[in-house]
């Protein structure tokens, strides 16, 4: 049971790293000059929507039973979850 919970939490963490990756992309392209924390504060409405969407999407996959076991560090599912977080933030966080 503990491993299932850890797997779910790890998936959520990887999804949120995708949000961080999107901020890095915006920062490198000079689309924002804010640090990450300030960026989250300025775009709090969009950040809440994005975080909710990432949590809901990963939860849906988890509850369907299709979330792969991530703690083996198989790269493909980890990249897929990271890309999900990145894409959701890129789509919803237009602020």
Domain regions of the chain by residue span: 2-92
Rounded to whole angstroms, the Cα distance separating 62 from 57 reads 9
pLDDT at 2: 87
The whole-number pLDDT of residue 26 equals 92
pLDDT tens by residue, the chain, 95 residues: 888 889 899 999 999 999 999 999 999 999 989 999 998 888 888 889 999 999 999 999 888 887 888 888 888 889 999 999 999 999 988 76
pLDDT at 13: 95
**Residue 95 confidence (pLDDT):** 60
Contact 84, 14 (CB under 8 A): no
35-45 burial by CB neighbour count: b if 16+ within 10 A, else e? eeeebbeebee
**Distance of alpha carbon 80 from alpha carbon 51, whole angstroms:** 17
Give the C-alpha separation, 45 to 55, whole Å. Answer: 16
So what's the pLDDT on residue 74?
83
């Amino acid at each position: 049971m503990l491993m299932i919970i850890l797997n779910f939490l790890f998936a959520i963490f990887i999804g949120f790293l995708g949000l961080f990756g999107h901020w890095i992309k915006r920062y490198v392209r000079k689309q924002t000059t804010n640090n990450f924390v300030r960026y989250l504060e300025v775009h709090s409405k969009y950040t809440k929507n994005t975080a909710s969407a990432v949590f809901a999407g990963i939860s849906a996959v988890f509850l369907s039973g299709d979330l792969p076991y991530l703690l083996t560090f198989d790269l493909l599912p980890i990249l897929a979850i990271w890309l999900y977080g990145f894409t959701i933030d890129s789509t919803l966080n237009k602020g």
